[in-house]
Amino acid sequence: SSEPPSSDGGDGAEGGGDELISVGFSQVGAESGWRSANTMSIKDALTEENGFELSFSDAQQKQENQISAIRNYIAQGVDVIAFSPVVETGWDAVLEEAKGAGIPVVLTDRAVETTVEDAYVSFIGSDFVEEGARSGEWAVEQYDGEGYKVVELQGTTGSAPAIDRQQGFADAIEGSDLEVIDSQTGDFTRDGGKKVMEGFLTAHDDIDLVFAHNDDMGLGAVEAIEAAGMTPGEDIKIITIDGVKDGMAALAEGKFNYIVECNPLLGPDLAEVIQKTVAGEDVEERIVTQDEAFDQEGAKEALPDRQY
């Protein structure tokens, strides 16, 4: 770690001249296409050339793994800890420990619920309630008045995106003719989505629409629907969130009906927040990523330029 940072690697922070900023990052896992794109973005931004020395760990969707990774980073005395919390609650002790050690924490992607004051310097990520609401609003626009029966594939139980997307969707369809008749977690994975959808198809013969909290679970649902002899996107409509390449391809092919984007490319914002924090500059407490939404025509147009 003796390589000097490039000229764009920092803003010449006082005293930080030729030292790399050490960062410990605890990632949720590798559960989805979104997550892979997110990991790539973080690793691309926190390079030595940009002035960082990154320790990266994958928690395989287990909170206990994240907590021990964060404790290791505290013991190593890294300059900054960043993590994407798999679930919202249960972080108080470890956040208190980081604070006690004087190590600033940055949250990316998912929020925490904590009683620790000033537990983190910034939280960078999308507005998940908004994503759920946009999904629900589109569904109401398209399908209201037709007595639509909806099944929901939830993300990881207790995670911010699962809680918030469910809430946003429920609020948006309230008072409409759409009804959520079943809702279960598929843990944000393709396999999980497939299995839960198989169960839904066995239990209900009147499903009109799937609301999947991410593309991967929606793709799993496509497999289950096709295996049951039906046509996804027609016999059963599908709305998902994320907008990764496989999801956009399914939308362009007519297997999905709508995607609300969730931008995974958080690396550049994270790098900037860390540099400013180490330089003692003020950072925004909440950085909300901007998301788009796509229908089938929109996906056909966007697909060729999709980066991930």
Q: Does 194 bind ligand GYE (CB under 6 A)?
A: no
Q: Does 266 bind ligand GYE (CB under 6 A)?
A: no
Q: Does 110 bind ligand GYE (CB under 6 A)?
A: yes
Measured N-to-C along each axis, helices 190-203 and 215-227 cross at an angle, to the nearest 10 degrees, of: 50
Q: Which two tokens stand for residue 11?
A: 């803003």
Q: Which of 23, 133, 173, 262 binds ligand GYE (CB under 6 A)?
A: 262
* Closer of 36 and 176 to ligand GYE (Cβ): 36
* Total of chain residues touching ligand GYE, rule CB under 6 A: 13
The backbone torsions φ and ψ at residue 284, rounded to the nearest 5 degrees and listed phi first, read: -70, 135
Q: How far is the CB of 15 from ligand GYE (least distance, A)?
A: 35
Q: How far is the CB of 266 from ligand GYE (least distance, A)?
A: 10
Q: Which two tokens stand for residue 207?
A: 């499903």
User: What is the C-alpha separation between 153 and 166, in angstroms, rounded?
Assistant: 9
Residue type for position 173: I
Q: Does 34 bind ligand GYE (CB under 6 A)?
A: yes
Q: Does 123 bind ligand GYE (CB under 6 A)?
A: no
Q: Which of 35, 134, 194, 276 binds ligand GYE (CB under 6 A)?
A: 35
Q: How far is the CB of 159 from ligand GYE (least distance, A)?
A: 7
Q: Does 269 bind ligand GYE (CB under 6 A)?
A: no
User: What is the C-alpha separation between 42 and 108, in angstroms, rounded?
Assistant: 10
Q: Does 263 bind ligand GYE (CB under 6 A)?
A: no
Interface positions, 226-245, toward ligand GYE (CB under 6 A): 241-242
Q: Which of 50, 154, 214, 240 binds ligand GYE (CB under 6 A)?
A: 214
Q: Does 31 bind ligand GYE (CB under 6 A)?
A: yes
User: What is the C-alpha separation between 34 and 189, in angstroms, rounded?
Assistant: 11
**H or E element that contains 141:** helix 128-143
Q: Are 296 and 21 in contact (CB under 8 A)?
A: no
User: What is the C-alpha separation between 99 and 243, in angstroms, rounded?
Assistant: 36
Q: Which two tokens stand for residue 59?
A: 């928690």
Contact range with ligand GYE by CB under 6 A, out of 31-39, 70-78, 227-235, 278-286: 31-39
Q: How far is the CB of 84 from ligand GYE (least distance, A)?
A: 7
Q: Does 73 bind ligand GYE (CB under 6 A)?
A: no
- Give me the half-sphere count of Cα atoms (radius 13 Å) on the Cβ side of residue 95: 20
- Give me the half-sphere count of Cα atoms (radius 13 Å) on the Cβ side of residue 19: 12
Q: Which of 10, 136, 161, 232 binds ligand GYE (CB under 6 A)?
A: 161
Tell me how crowded residue 50 is: count the other CB atoms within 10 A of its CB: 20
Q: Which residues bind ligand GYE (CB under 6 A)?
A: 31-32, 34-35, 109-110, 161, 188, 214, 216, 241-242, 262
